Structure 1
Amino acid sequence: MTPTPTGAQQYSTTTTHPTVPRQRQPQGHPAGPGPRYDYEHYSRLSGPLTQAPEDRPYRVKYRSLLADEPHRIRAALLLGAAPVLSVVLLVWLMQPAHWTHRGGAPAWMTVCDTVMLVSIGLIELFRLINVTSNAHATLVARDPVPVVPETGTAVAFVTTFVPGKEPLAMVRATLEAATRLRHRGPLHIWLLDEGDDPAVRELCARLGVRHFSRKGVRKWNQDKGPFRARTKHGNYNAWLDAHGDDYEFFASVDTDHIPLPNFLERMLGYFRDPDIAFVVGPQVYGNYDSAVTKAAESQQFLFHALIQRAGNAYGAPMFVGTNNAVRICALKGIGGLYDSITEDMATGFELHRHRNPFTGRKWRSVYTPDVLAVGEGPTSWTDFFTQQLRWSRGTYETVIKQFWKAPFTLSPGKLLNYGLMVVYYPMTAVNWLLGGLSCALFLGLGASGIQIDSEVWMMLYSDAAALQIGLYVWNRRHNVSPHEPEGSSGAAGMVMSALSAPIYARSLLDAALRRKSRFVVTPKGDSASPDRLFSTFRTHLFWLLVFGGSLAASFFNHHTHVAMRTWACLALVITAAPIAVWALSLIRPRARGGKP
């Protein structure tokens, strides 16, 4: 992506994540020792800090990403062509002349044909919604213009510790980095310790960090609600109850995130606007050395580089718990962080539904593309799938429990923004389930919802897919990751999203069946979970049987339509890929004489 010019105010930020080895400077930097990745530059992607106007009330200002595009005609053609061709494909497929009609067929076959017809229509409709969502985000995405924060505001910087899930060395690195934060006003560093660990207390005392624990306090350890035991939101809400009134804002990072020294300088200025409830930044993984971690970060490209920026157009980016700053009176006004396994999304949704009592206007939020904290991503397939399971399940819970309130309490823009965000997981899951059902019905039983010309279908489908991928690749210029090479296609992220589809389907079924879910901290560092064939990949193994069995049945029953066999083969590759990658990771060290 194009570097942002350095403004009048520069910073000497050289913070690196403790797990990132130090080596030569990135290309274009002066020779000599330094960080492996240019976090300093990426911490200022939104531009230099500016002064807030003194002659009028401050409101956050934004810059359109598309307005800076030098090839606007080319961009407009791509933005228009991608959804239009998807519409053409959908309309062509679903013509009544293409519907299957069987004279004298048994009733069960007619039912199967109808199910196939509906499945195909929904799959293409969901794909159309997805490409339209990406085109819409590209059109409206914008960055906030950063301003200098007010002087003298009381701020708490908060992070948490969960015994057994996060190594003490990781907590130490985060707290040490927090003590280097710059702020022109009262600033206290807090560690919220779920275990009230003596070693953690001693570490806090040595670093001058304030220690808090709710352990043993019944009021702060409930079975459900804002003080739910063994949850992140319960831990934060207990601290808010005890100390929140002492501060105007709190900034927080997950324990595995190292904040850069300019974290507060780049976030707090937006709170000059009295209606800003929270500010969030992107999530990047500093332990950028394993294949799973690299692909997991790339998978988040669209969300952090595009979807969140589109949220700025409506004042409604999603609340992300990994690194943020929050206006405490706004959060306490809705009763604290929401009781959910994805408390950040649920809390942001509630804030956007409510009004600032001092101005009468709805609370808004800001997403900054500035990389202000460097975290640690999942290094094993087990932890990655667990993370995706929790994120998707939390979205389903938000849809079931909260989203019905949206039409009555959100503005049209915010409703559109949230609607496009929350449909991603359900659409991906339903698409996967319908794809599996269609394969089984056609290849196994011979059902056929539509009768079409294979060559015309292949032409339209390949063109629509090419435009959809082209839009994705074109948007890579807006990437906010300091780790992915400039000009990279993001193919690893696209593949990782496809590999996650079976997990989203499993999560959707769990939500529909109301199976109990619980908050799970993604293990970090040496606590990473090991991968096992039948525990880690059991969902993918099940779908291997579904698609493999359907494909085998097609040869036996002579059901040979190219579209269905193509989809079955692609699905088979998708379900087998993570297992194959894991198996190769075990074989290679042994081939070199090492341990897996």
Structure 2
Amino acid sequence: MTTPFSRRKDVGTARRRGAGHLDEGALGSLSVPEAPYDYGHFSRLAGPAHDPDEDDDLGGGVYRPEPAAHAIPASPPTPASPPTPAPPPVPPTAPYRVRYRSLLRREPHRIRAALLLTAAPVVEAVLLVWLLLPEHWPERLDETNPLVLLGDKVMIGIIAVVELFRLVNVVSNTHATLVARDPVPVTPEPGTRVAFLTTCVPGKEPPEMVRATLVAARAVRHEGPYEVWLLDEGNDPAMQELCAELGVRHFSRAGRPHWNRPKGRFRARSKHGNYNAWLQAHGDDYDFWVSVDTDHVPLPDFCERMLGYFRDPDVAFVVGPQVYGNYRSSGSAVTKFSESQQYLFHALIQRAGNRYGAPMFVGTNNAVRIRALQSIGGLYDSITEDMATGLEFHRSRNPETGERWKSVYTPDVLAVGEGPSSWTDFFSQQLRWSRGTYETLLTQYWRVFWQLSPGRLLNYSLMVGFYPMAALTWLLGGLSSVLYLGFGASGVHVSSELWMMLYSDAAALQLLLYTWNRKHNVSPHEPAGSSGVAGMMMSALCGPIYAASLLQALVRRRSRFEVTPKGRSASTDRLGTFRYHLFWTLVFGGAIAASFVTGYDHVAMRTWAGIALALTLLPVLILAGDAVRRLRTRPTATLTVTGGPAATPKVVLEKRRPRHARDPRAAQHDHPTQHGRPMRHDHPTQHGQPAHPAHPTQHTRAESGTPIH
């Protein structure tokens, strides 16, 4: 059979020589300023790569037979020698299995860790039980209004549910801390056929962004046949020319009805439909695909650090963390806070998934065994196709071994993306991610959960439960504030001082557990030693978004996949951006105002309502702060007159340095561009890898569904 490798030049040899030996004329000239972030170090967080049969500090894990005597031809026996016995049968070599290192076993202060991991859930459980003691229930002996009595019961139920959700969240983080582990990297098997895939949607991705991603993909190293593909939804002639210039293969399903259907695996205008069309057309020509979203740029060792885990025949896919290269250059607090928000998921939750061979599939950057994907029918039809597809993998078995398909999460940062730089794009991202989780729960999870092993069932339940618990906590908190502060419905009667003591202790232990795990952060952008409180705040202020998404899912409001505009098409924040938050501002503000009239002013209820009110206003305040900073640092025009009174004035633009710049060199490092596209600089590190990838500076966000904890 004719394959693309027999039709086209094998670029694998070029990959083995390294990016510097590629066709410079085809790739064009790119240069990037010295990076302020050490991507070379963060691309090796899992440790050095071993040969698959090499002993390491774990000991064992791979069966290796003793050296066989018959492997070396024996000398002819002398007449006095006894006959040489036949060599014993050598057992077949067991297949390689991924090995792991526990994060907790590397903890130097084990006693402190044990105390923290015990105290956090115990104190939260004590608070829950104490609040629900029968002696704390309200007694209204003279009350005859059934609505008031019903309101009391509703309040007790709300308190029980909200505190139970808090306990589950603490247990989830404690569990993840206990079982989190990293895979031991191994070198990939040489000679495998690999396709690098990324997509393009007309009008959504700027051409310079697509170019930067493709150029970086061409520089990825792999010992074997390797080709880069652009999956173009619009069959754009400009994209065809770009692919021809760079030596990239072009694919489009445009104009083919069987690949553009209203729903299903070939759904039109969807990422999974685009990938599934390519899979049907060309999947048989490759062993694996490696893939990034178009607003991500892979590092040169992307394949070297991911493909080795496929030596385990039951590994279906490998995923890595998502980080935002415009962390500083976007000039927006949204970008910084949104990367911090993802810390717990990528630094802890995904690593806990390694314990059960079930980290979640993340579409931003991944490697997939094509045969495994074909065995489950391709990517799943969902607005968060990655989570849904991962669930299909984890409930299915490898037909060749009979074992369950498994996945691997590596903490290595192997691709650098672009985060949301506006509240509009951030809220759109969170709305889609949460809606995708609800759709998975309502249409897929309840039908297949019984096919998961107990460990995977626990892992998935804790992951997919985050969004609905956050949404219900917000909705029930708003309802309880209105019922008590406005109408006097009473849930429990407790001492304000004792409640404040227990509640503050529980909250402090949760915060301590969160910050204690920051040592495992995989972000190359967040400052070392930072608390990550901004990420916690970002998750908290998403409550109105998660609540709106849940209500839309319950009423079956139609959802559709939308590609977030990037670069020059990035969204602008308007008053409507904050419509959900402003609605809840009225709810909590009205409840607090009513309490001064009704006299229902318990400190616990006013405290909760006050915190919620502040969260609803916080995005607007952060937006205003960003605007003030931009005004302080914007270029100023200086009028210079030369050549006498009749001369034409020249306007010279001088850019002010930020007043509180953390790094005085920051202005030099924020990704300047050349000729309208990002500049690239291959800056060698101690590992011999570029410390900074060529990555775009304009696009705004990553495109994959990732539940954030």
- TM-score tier by shorter-chain length is over 0.9
Aligned to 1:451: 493
Please say which of residues 414-423 and 400-409 is displaced more in the overlay: 400-409
1:12-91 equivalences in 2 (<5 Å) = 34-53=34-53, 55=64, 56-91=94-129
2:38 and 2:506 mapped to 1: Cα distance? 37
* Partner Cα separation in structure 2 for residue 70 and residue 81 of structure 1: 19
State whether structure 2 residue 141 is matched by structure 1 residue 103: yes
Deviations 1:515-547 (A, max 9, x none): 0111111222222100001x1000000000000
> Residues 480, 590 of structure 1: CA spacing in aligned structure 2 closer, same or farther, 3 A cutoff?
closer
State, as a whole percentage, how many aligned pairs show the same letter. 69
User: Could you say which residue in structure 2 is the equivalent of 1:274?
Assistant: 313
2-structure distance, mates of 1:591, 1:478: 35
Say how many residue pairs are matched.
567
Equivalent position of 1:349 in the other structure: 391
The equivalent of 1:6 in structure 2 is none
Which of 333, 353, 369 is the equivalent residue of 1:291?
Answer: 333
Q: Identify which of 512, 519, 529 aligns with 1:470.
A: 512
Note if contact 2:95-2:313 (Cα within 8 Å) is conserved in structure 1.
no
Distance 1:35 1:592, change over 3 A: closer
| TM-score, scaled relative to structure 2 | 0.79
1:206-235, Cα deviation, whole Å (9 max, x unpaired): 000000000010000000000000000000
Q: For the Cα contact (< 8 Å) 1:476–1:490, is it kept in 2?
A: yes
Q: Which residue of 2 aligns with 1:125?
A: 164
* Alpha-carbon distance in 2 for matches of 1:568, 1:326: 47
- Aligned residue number for residue 486 of structure 1: 528
Query: How is 1:524-535 mapped onto 2 (pairs within 5 angstroms)?
Result: 524-533=566-575, 535=576
Assess, with a 3 A threshold, how the Cα gap between structure 1 residues 458 and 176 changes in structure 2: closer, same or farther.
same
Which position in structure 2 is the counterpart of 1:539? 580
Query: Does 2:558 correspond to 1:516?
Result: yes
Query: Is the CA contact 2:194–2:286 (under 8 Å) kept in the aligned structure 1?
Result: yes
Any idea what the Cα deviations from partners look like across 1:175-203, whole Å, max 9, x if unmatched?
A: 00000010011101000000111000000
Matches within 5 A, 1:27-426: 34-53=34-53, 55=64, 56-105=94-143, 106-289=145-328, 290-426=332-468
Read off the aligned partner of 1:196 and give its amino acid letter: N
Please list every run of 5 or more consecutive structure 2 residues that lacks an aligned counterpart in the other structure: 1-17, 21-30, 54-62, 65-93, 637-709
Q: Does 1:582 align with 2:620?
A: no
SS of equivalent residue, structure 1 residue 191:
strand
The residue identity in structure 1 corresponding to 2:272 is H
Quote the offset at 1:406 in angstroms: 3.8
Distance 2:397 2:243 in 1: 37
- The structure showing larger relative contact order (alpha-carbon pairs under 8 Å, at least 6 residues apart) is 2
Give me the whole-angstrom Cα distance separating, in 2, the residues matched to 1:265 and 1:592. 42
- Cα deviation, 1:107-164, whole Å, max 9, x if unaligned, reads 0001111111100110000000000100000000000000000011001000000111
What amino acid is the match of 1:548?
A: G
Distance 1:153 1:68 in 2: 35
Do the aligned partners of residues 192 and 459 (structure 1) sit closer, same or farther apart at CA in structure 2, a change above 3 Å counting? Answer: same
TM-superposed CA distance for 1:594, in Å, is: 6.8
Q: What are the residue-to-residue correspondences of 1:539-558 with 2, within 5 Å?
A: 539-558=580-599
Structure 1, residues 467-523: CA drift from partner, whole Å, max 9, x if none? 000000000000000000110000110110011111001000000110011111122
With over 3 angstroms needed to count, the CA separation of the structure-2 counterparts of 1:119 and 1:594, relative to structure 1, is: farther
Q: SS of the counterpart of 2:541?
A: helix
Letter in 2 for 1:184: E
Amino acid at match of 2:173: N
The whole-number CA distance in structure 1 between the counterparts of 2:606 and 2:312 is: 56
Give, in whole Å, the separation in 2 of the partners of 1:593 and 1:402.
50
Match of 1:502 among 503, 525, 544: 544
| Kept after mapping to 2: 8 A contact 1:376/1:524 | no
CA distance in 1, matches of 2:408, 2:102: 14
2:602 aligned residue (540, 550, 561): 561
How far did 1:408 drift? 2.0
Structure 1 range deviating more: 520-529 or 276-285: 520-529
> Is the 1:378–1:522 Cα contact (8 Å) retained in structure 2?
no
Determine if contact 2:333/2:626 at 8 Å carries over to the other structure.
no
Equivalent pair of 1:160/1:254 in contact (CA under 8 Å): yes
1:39 and 1:482 in contact (8 A); partners too: yes
Provide the secondary structure at the position in 2 that maps to 1:286. Answer: coil
In the aligned structure 2, how far is the partner of 1:332 from the partner of 1:167?
32
The residue type equivalent to 1:375 in the other structure is G
Residues 1:570 and 2:608 are matched in the alignment: no
Aligned mates of 1:223, 1:206 — CA distance in 2: 34
Which residue identity lines up with residue 529 of structure 1 in the other structure? S
- Considering only CA atoms, is the larger Rg found in Structure 1 or Structure 2? 2
Question: What secondary structure is seen at the aligned counterpart in 2 of 1:402?
Answer: helix
Give the TM-score normalised by the residue count of structure 1: 0.93
Note closer, same or farther for the CA distance 1:591–1:377 as it changes in structure 2 (3 Å cut). Answer: closer
Alpha-carbon separation, structure 2, partners of 1:416 and 1:138: 15
Is contact 1:131-1:468 (8 Å) kept?
A: yes
Contact 1:22 1:36 in 2 (8 A): no
CA RMSD across the alignment:
1.5
Q: Please give the alpha-carbon distance, in whole angstroms, between the structure 2 residues aligned to 1:303 and 1:587.
A: 32
Distance in 1 of aligned mates of 2:428 and 2:166: 26
Structure 1 CA distance for aligned equivalents of residues 241 and 536 of structure 2: 45
Question: Given that residues 406 and 415 in structure 1 are in contact (C-alpha distance below 8 angstroms), is that contact kept between their aligned partners in structure 2?
Answer: no
SS in 2 for 1:366: strand
Give the Å deviation of 1:104. 3.1
What's the offset of the Cα at 1:449?
1.0
Query: 1:440 aligned to 2:479?
Result: no
Aligned partner of 1:30 in structure 2 is: none
1:12, CA displacement in angstroms?
A: 10
- Between Structure 1 and Structure 2, the one with more helix by share is 1
Offset of 1:403 from its aligned partner? 1.1
Does the 8 Å contact 1:161/1:192 carry over to 2?
A: yes
**What is the Cα deviation at residue 581 of structure 1?**
1.4
Q: Any gaps of 5 or more consecutive residues in structure 1?
A: 1-10, 14-20, 24-33
